[in-house]
């Protein structure tokens, strides 16, 4: 059990330390909002795509063996989505709150917290598997988010066709998805390995991705918003931190997942609410204050939940 606890601390503590650094910088006035916005855009548009592309292009992972993991991830996402939709229908009255609540339950921060924790746990091999998982499930996240947030919209004349077009635009211009598709195509064509200046430059950009993203996440934490938890945001946070990981473990075990695959599934699903959930909720007329509270609380508290869950799974020999 001691070894399991050490494992859990090892994979989570570096992330918390970098987030703590970001929060410290923000409190000292060394990380302004413009710095956070510009750095986040830099990471999203350049660093993370390089990280995902080269982690897939350089790997020797047999992607055919990831079909079960990806299938389980899709099933977990739909289970959480449908369950949250049913709960919202009967227990949440305001349409502006319903979609934000549902999105807070099923949508996790895979690209930053999830990938960073998977890398801490399993290194490059785990990162490659996590990148493939993230690429597929991210597409599903965006589609389901638009569906659930479509209950309310500030735009006059907003229709289902316009929302469908918006989803396709988001997917077709998402740098992370484009990087993964390019990497899959590169592997499928059997092209020679990338070497020299291109690879060195890509490695340098990739090395910046996760540390800078975690620092920005920490600098974005608003303690006042986090401590102003309403009953609804607490319910959503419990769903994200406790219910979602338990659902993932149950379905993963039902399909026989273990080792790295169970570890990747758990760490991806148990990650805090996605930062994009706040942006999309605000853009589509949802309750952005509720979204911000869910994001802040799960970002801080969810990391400890990930450590606890990882320790238990490790002690049981499941990851």
What is 57-105 written as a DSSP string? HT----GGGGHHHHHHHHHHHHHHHHHHHHHHHHH---HHHHHHHHHHH
**The predicted structure's pLDDT at residue 158:** 63
Spatial distance between the Cα atoms of 65 and 259, rounded to a whole number of angstroms = 13
Evaluate if residue 130 carries a pLDDT over 80: yes
Dihedral sign, CA of 179, 184, 188, 192? positive
The share of the chain scoring above pLDDT 70, in percent, equals 92
User: For residues 98 and 125, is the Cβ–Cβ distance under 8 A?
Assistant: no
**The predicted structure's pLDDT at residue 106:** 96
**The predicted structure's pLDDT at residue 151:** 67
Residue 148 dihedral angles phi and psi, to the nearest 5°: -75, -30
What is the DSSP code string of 19-35?
A: HHHHHHHHHTT-S-HHH
Q: What average pLDDT score do residues 38-46 get?
A: 87
Evaluate if residue 156 carries a pLDDT over 60: no
**The predicted structure's pLDDT at residue 162:** 72
Q: What average pLDDT score do residues 33-46 get?
A: 87
Q: What average pLDDT score do residues 4-11 get?
A: 81
**Ranges of each domain in the chain:** 2-315
- Looking at CATH, the fold of the domain delimited by 2-315 is given as Na+/H+ antiporter like fold (1.20.1530)
Spatial distance between the Cα atoms of 85 and 248, rounded to a whole number of angstroms = 18
Evaluate if residue 58 carries a pLDDT over 70: yes
pTM of the predicted model as reported, rounded to 2 decimal places: 0.82
The share of the chain scoring above pLDDT 90, in percent, equals 30
First CA to last CA distance, the chain: 13
**The predicted structure's pLDDT at residue 82:** 97
Evaluate if residue 128 carries a pLDDT over 90: no
**Of 319, 200, 179, residue with least CA distance to 262:** 319
**The predicted structure's pLDDT at residue 142:** 79
- 120-124, 141-145, 204-208, 262-266: segment of lowest average pLDDT: 141-145
- 23-27, 155-159, 177-181: segment of lowest average pLDDT: 155-159
Three-class DSSP category at 189: coil
More confident residue, 170 or 85: 85
Q: What is the pLDDT of residues 234-243, one digit of tens each?
A: 899 999 999 9
Q: What is the pLDDT of residues 186-218, one digit of tens each?
A: 888 888 888 889 999 999 998 888 888 888 878
pLDDT tier, 59 (very low <50, low <70, confident <90, very high otherwise): confident
Q: What average pLDDT score do residues 134-160 get?
A: 74
Average predicted confidence (pLDDT) for the chain: 85
Q: According to the per-residue pLDDT averaged within each range, which of 25-29, 152-156, 192-196, 275-279 is highest? A: 25-29
């Amino acid at each position: 059990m001691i070894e399991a606890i050490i494992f859990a601390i090892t994979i989570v503590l570096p992330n918390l330390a970098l987030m703590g650094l970001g929060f410290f910088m923000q409190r000292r006035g060394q990380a302004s909002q413009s710095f956070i916005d510009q750095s986040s855009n830099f990471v999203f548009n350049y660093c993370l795509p390089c990280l995902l592309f080269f982690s897939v292009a350089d790997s020797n992972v047999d992607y055919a063996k990831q079909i079960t993991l990806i299938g389980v991830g899709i099933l977990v996402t739909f289970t959480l989505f449908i369950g949250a939709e049913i709960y919202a229908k009967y227990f949440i009255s305001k349409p502006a709150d319903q979609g934000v609540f549902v999105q807070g339950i099923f949508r996790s921060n895979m690209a930053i917290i999830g990938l960073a924790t998977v890398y801490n746990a399993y290194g490059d091999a785990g990162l490659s598997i996590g990148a493939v998982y993230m690429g597929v499930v991210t597409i599903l996240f965006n589609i389901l988010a638009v569906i659930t947030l479509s209950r309310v919209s500030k735009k006059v004349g907003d229709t289902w066709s316009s929302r469908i077009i918006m989803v396709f635009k988001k997917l077709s211009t998402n740098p992370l998805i484009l990087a993964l598709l390019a990497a899959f195509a590169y592997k499928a064509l059997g092209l020679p390995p990338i070497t020299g200046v291109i690879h060195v430059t890509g490695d340098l950009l990739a090395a910046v991705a996760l540390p800078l993203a975690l620092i920005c996440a920490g600098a974005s934490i608003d303690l006042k918003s986090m401590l102003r938890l309403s009953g609804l945001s607490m319910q959503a946070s419990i769903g994200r931190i406790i219910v979602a990981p338990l659902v993932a473990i149950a379905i993963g075990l039902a399909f026989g997942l273990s080792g790295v695959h169970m570890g990747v599934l758990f760490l991806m699903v148990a990650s805090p609410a996605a930062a994009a959930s706040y942006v999309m909720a605000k853009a589509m007329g949802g309750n952005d204050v509720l979204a911000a509270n869910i994001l802040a609380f799960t970002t801080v508290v969810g990391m400890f939940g990930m450590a606890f869950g990882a320790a238990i799974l490790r002690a049981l020999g499941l990851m």
